Structure formats: structure tokens, C-alpha cells
Structure 1
Amino acid sequence: MKAWICNDWGDPQSLVLGEMPTPLPGKRQVLIDVHCSGVNFPDTLMIAGKDQMKAERPFVPGVVCAGTVMGFGDEVTGFKLGDRVTAILYHGGYAQHALADDIQTHLIPDAMCFDDAAAFPTTYGTVYRALVDRGRLRAGETLLVLGAAGGVGLNAVELGRLLGANVIAAAGTDAKLALARSYGAQHTINYTHESIRERVKEITAGNGADVVFDPVGGDAFDEALRCMAREGRLLVVGFASGRIPSAPANRVLMSESEVIGVLYGGKRTPQVARANFAKMIGWYLEGKLKPHVSMRFPFDQVPAAMNALLDRSATGKVLVTRA
């Protein structure tokens, strides 16, 4: 099979398109004929050797894919050949065929295209895990979303509004903020020339944000921590800025706030992940959730697809598709 291979740590241009044997599924694994792969920021960290869980080289990056079942292990139940699925992977998504654990593989309805399926599990799954399971977001609360036009950020805006929150979107350009407004944000902050702290205080009449969704880290985290409401929850989702921040304990103490880590994948709590996925699929079928795909690249342009994330030219999701 054809696959994009990481032989050495580096940038997307260091990946090599080559041939690899089609993998054989283990007892609890599903072999997927990949139709579409989602491009995610962790992919760029993984090939650079900066991910917190380093893969053993050589390996094929790509943490999510959608396609059809072409094989499965002896202990797998609930799937048959030809089933349409989406899956979260450790790696392997940028290939013609990919292996996924059965507990991280989900059936998709006929009404869902493979593009939407590949855009769905990591972003919406992460956002639901963050806002509902970890952040305990309630209707009427104020939700501040950092990086609000990115893959997870835009979905956080969308799901936050669906849950009844007052959503403040923060991003770096007016065009990105306009997109966030189209997905339900009531207020916006352009943090290239506006202070997150001052604008949040202004918007909330000094009360601050009840929940902060932060996939950015760095300076944005520092500012967000200074505009938390009492008993607020700051959700640590990622570090797209490149700097992992530290939380001054005195600020957490004085606001009685919480800094909460969010790690989604589904392997730790598969029953919860499946229930969450089913609920979100229901919303998708009702037209309440719709992934925003801004860029699609053919399979032979995986490095360009990854660079679209790194240079911040993409909004929402970036996909790699096979003809």
C-alpha cells in the first residue's frame, strides 16, 4: 500500500511517500480502507518528535480516518466487511489502509459523507469531552473560546451555542472572527490588537468567563487565567502557540477557579466515548452540527495539507482525500 512515512524527525517536507505492507489486524483491531483522513495539529508535533507520546520510527502519521472495513481481528464484534466507519488512531491515517482499535472505531450513518466523518471524531469528540464531561458547561454561562476559527475552536463555538452558553470567540483576524460569528459566537476578540482580559471583562460587566476552552496555550492562556469568573473552569486542550504555560497558583486560589486537562481518545472510557459520539451523530443528522472544511488536498499532497495548519492559513478542518 502507499503511505506517507516519517523516517526522521522534521517538518512535513521530510515525509516520504512510499510503499509499505498492508498491516494485519490484531485480535481487537479493525483494518480500514481509507477514503479520507483528517489533518490535525498533533500530526505536526508527532513528525517533529515533539508529541508527548513519541512514535517509534519509521511510522505513518495521521490520527483520524474514515473509510470502509476491509478486515478485523478474531475478537472484534459489531463490525462487518464493507461497514462505513470513522476511527481515531495512534498513527497511520496517511495511508491507503489503516489499523484502528475496535473501541476507537465508530459506525457512521449512510447520510454522513466520508469528508464529514473524517472531520468529526477528534474535533467534536474533544470539544464534547471538554465542555460537557470536564467543563460542566451550563446554559447561560459565558464560554471564552481561544483559537476560535481552528478545527477544535470552531466546533467549541458551535457546541457551546448549542448547549446554551454565551460564547466569546477569540482569534487573530477579522475574517476568522466572522467565521466564528457564523457558527454562533455572540462576541469576538481580535487578540492581535485587543486585550483578551480587558475585552472579556467589558463583555461580562466585570464578571469574567465561566469556562475557557484553550487549545492555544502561551500568552492567550496567561490572559485568560486573569479574566476567569469565580469558580470558573479553564480547559487545557492543547498548545498550538508552541509554548506550554504555567498557572500561577495564587490566581487559581483567589478566583477559586479550576485548571482542567482534557485528553480525548476514548480508550480510557470507551463506553462514555461511544455514548458521546452517538449523541453528536444525532445532532449532526438533525442539522445542529456541521463540520467546516476549509481545505481538501489529494493524497499525494499530505505535506501541503499539514503546512496549511502550521502557517495558520486554514480555518476549521483540513482533509486529505483519496480519489
Structure 2
Amino acid sequence: MKAFSIIHAGASPRLTQRPDRAPKSDEIKVRIAAAGLNFADLLMIEGTYQDTPAPPFTLGLEAAGEVIEVGSDVDRFSVGDRVSVYCGQGGLAESGCFAASRAVLLPDEVTYDVGASFQIAYGTSHLALAHRARLRRGETLLVLGAAGGVGLTAVEIGKLMGARVIACARGPEKLNIARMAGADHLIEADTQDIRTSVKDLGGADVVYDPVGGDQFMSAFRACNPEARILSIGFAGGQVPQPRLNHLLVKNIDILGFYWGGYLSFAPEKLTNSLAKVLEWLAEGRLAPHISAVLPFDRVEDGLDLLRQRKNTGKVVIRISD
């Protein structure tokens, strides 16, 4: 079985032949049709992701495909079911065995490409905005990195939740994609001053930040009293260091958010959130943006798109038809 794997620490990932196996009692075996790439895959390659497995392991945090075998204790799925799986690892392979608790049934209206790319991006944005930040109708949401894999979903979901959305991204093409996703106002990150632009629009009540660095600090200074800042990640390469006394002056909350962590301490929150996202997908209220679909032998090209920030929305690897 082909798999895109890291064999030992420090080695570059590559396509390898991996032994196949039967599912354990609580697992399902999936013939993988498509896998979504994420920034976390790059961190795993570098060994800096918080959940990097010990080598050897196969990359791929999320995938979709057909159930081809079920473990003896599994009663939620049957052979032939179409599923989306939050793998954690193992999605970039021709097949894989995964805990049944990490899989959800795909509605017929949802393609495998979308099924392989919605859980982390849409799941992150919905749970972060609805549960962690308690975004309310009529509030102003500032989304940094608004055309990226998670940022674009935050624009969509924020708009669905009734917020006024300010999208910040680099370049007219990315800003136009954010506008089509529902953004009310656009800020060009390289040529406009984020702090001044946001304050001129009335300030931010909630900030969604997968970028970090200077953009975080600019957004922080543009927050309204009692604003909530969601720290999603640091794609810009720098972890910001805000001064805590400034938090006190405006009563601002900085909220750390790691979507996958809910599996270990509150899985029902994650499950309920995904159910809402799937409902919206089936109803056509969300329009997933996939900027590239590449064949299995071009995984490296897909990772380079993420590495160089050339993607808008998601990059999907097509494993099989």
C-alpha cells in the first residue's frame, strides 16, 4: 500500500510502501479517496507540531473515503459508508485504519474532496467562534489570514452567525476571494495599516488570528473593550508577546484554541460542532473553496503551496477516484 511517510526524524517525507492491516475492534478501515493538506503537516515534517508522532508515521490529518471493513465493536458504520475522518496521522495513504470515534458520515451532497478538507478548517472556525469566543450577531469580527485554509472558513461562518466581517489578507486576488465568502470590509495586509483601518471601521469585538506576529499586535491595538482574541496559530512564523497590562485597560480576553485537543477532554463539543457544519454543507449554506486538487504523486507540490502561502482555501490530494 502506498503512503506518504516520514521514516525517521529529520528525513524528508516520501512515497513508500507500507504494510496493510486489519482494523482493531474499535476501528474502521477506509479506502481513501482524498486527503486534505494542513499547515500542521508542515510542522510535523519539521517535528515542531504539538502532536507529532514518533517516526515512522504517515502524514495526513484528515481524509475521506469508503468504509471497506469494520471492527467487531463498531456499530455506527457499515461497509460501503462514505465517511470523513479526522485522522491525526495516516490520511495520505491508499487506505487506513482509524478509530470509529474520529469519523462522521458524509451526506450524499458532499463530495470526497470536500469531505477530506472540511473537518479541520470549518470545525476550527465554528467551534472557535461559537463556543470559545461566543461571537454574537451584530458584533464585528476581524479575520487575519482571511484567504487561507482556516481564515476563509472563519469569514464564511462569521457571516452566517450574523457578524460584520473585516477580512485581512495579502493581495487583491486573496481579498476578492474573502469578499466572495461574505466579508463586508477588506484590508490589504501589506499596504494598509491594520490598526488604523480597523479602528476607522469601529474596532473589533472578536479577532480570529491564525497568523500571529505583527498582525496580532496591530489587531490587538484595534480591539474594542471586552474584545476576544482567538489565537489559532502562528503561520507568520512569530509568536506575539502582548503586554498583559494592556489587557487590563480594555478588559480584553486572549483565548488559545486547538481544535484537536477537544477529542481528549470534551469530544461532544467537537462532535456537536461538526454536526452543525455538516448540516450547513448539506443545505448549501457553506461554499468550500478548494484552490488545488493534485494527484497522489504531487504531495510535495501541494505542501509547497502551503509553505509559500500560494494557496487560497484548501489544498486536496486525490488518492483514488
**TM-score, normalised to structure 1's length?**
0.95
Question: 2: distance between equivalents of 1:28 and 1:244?
Answer: 38
Change in Cα spacing, 1:250 to 1:110, as seen in structure 2 (3 Å) is: same
Change in Cα spacing, 1:165 to 1:239, as seen in structure 2 (3 Å) is: same
Displacement, 1:95?
A: 0.5
**Which residue identity lines up with residue 2 of structure 2 in the other structure?**
K
Partner of 1:6: 6
Q: Secondary structure at the match of 1:175?
A: helix
Question: 2: distance between equivalents of 1:131 and 1:248?
Answer: 24
Displacement, 1:75?
A: 2.3
Partner of 1:248: 243
Question: 2: distance between equivalents of 1:273 and 1:28?
Answer: 19
State which drifts further: 100-109 or 179-188: 100-109
1:262 aligns with 2:257: yes
Question: 2: distance between equivalents of 1:284 and 1:311?
Answer: 29
**Which residue identity lines up with residue 294 of structure 2 in the other structure?**
F
Displacement, 1:23?
A: 3.6
Contact 2:93/2:319 (CA < 8 Å) preserved in 1? no
Work out which of the residue numbers 75, 78, 81 in structure 1 matches 2:79.
81
Displacement, 1:269?
A: 2.2
**For residues 287-306 of structure 1, what are the structure 2 equivalents within 5 Å?**
287-306=284-303
Question: 2: distance between equivalents of 1:56 and 1:108?
Answer: 31
Listed as ranges, the gaps of 5+ residues in structure 1 are: none
Question: 1: distance between equivalents of 2:140 and 2:30?
Answer: 41
Displacement, 1:230?
A: 0.6
Question: 1: distance between equivalents of 2:23 and 2:180?
Answer: 42
Work out which of the residue numbers 94, 114, 117 in structure 2 matches 1:116.
114
Question: 1: distance between equivalents of 2:17 and 2:32?
Answer: 15
Question: 1: distance between equivalents of 2:72 and 2:48?
Answer: 35
Q: Secondary structure at the match of 1:100?
A: strand
Displacement, 1:221?
A: 1.1
Displacement, 1:271?
A: 2.1
Displacement, 1:9?
A: 4.5
Aligned Cα root-mean-square deviation (Å): 1.3
**For residues 1-323 of structure 1, what are the structure 2 equivalents within 5 Å?**
1-9=1-9, 14-204=12-202, 208-265=203-260, 266-267=262-263, 268-323=265-320
Contact 1:89/1:99 (CA < 8 Å) preserved in 2? no
Contact 2:87/2:98 (CA < 8 Å) preserved in 1? yes
**Which residue identity lines up with residue 186 of structure 2 in the other structure?**
T
**TM-score, normalised to structure 2's length?**
0.96
Question: 2: distance between equivalents of 1:274 and 1:298?
Answer: 30
Listed as ranges, the gaps of 5+ residues in structure 2 are: none
Task: Show CA shifts across 1:193-230 (max 9, x none).
Answer: 111111100111xxx20000011111111111111111
Contact 1:225/1:251 (CA < 8 Å) preserved in 2? no
Change in Cα spacing, 1:99 to 1:221, as seen in structure 2 (3 Å) is: farther
Question: 1: distance between equivalents of 2:240 and 2:29?
Answer: 38
Question: 1: distance between equivalents of 2:81 and 2:207?
Answer: 38
Displacement, 1:312?
A: 1.0
- Total equivalences in the alignment: 318
State which drifts further: 222-231 or 127-136: 222-231
**Which residue identity lines up with residue 303 of structure 2 in the other structure?**
M
Contact 1:103/1:270 (CA < 8 Å) preserved in 2? no
Displacement, 1:100?
A: 2.2
Question: 1: distance between equivalents of 2:104 and 2:242?
Answer: 36
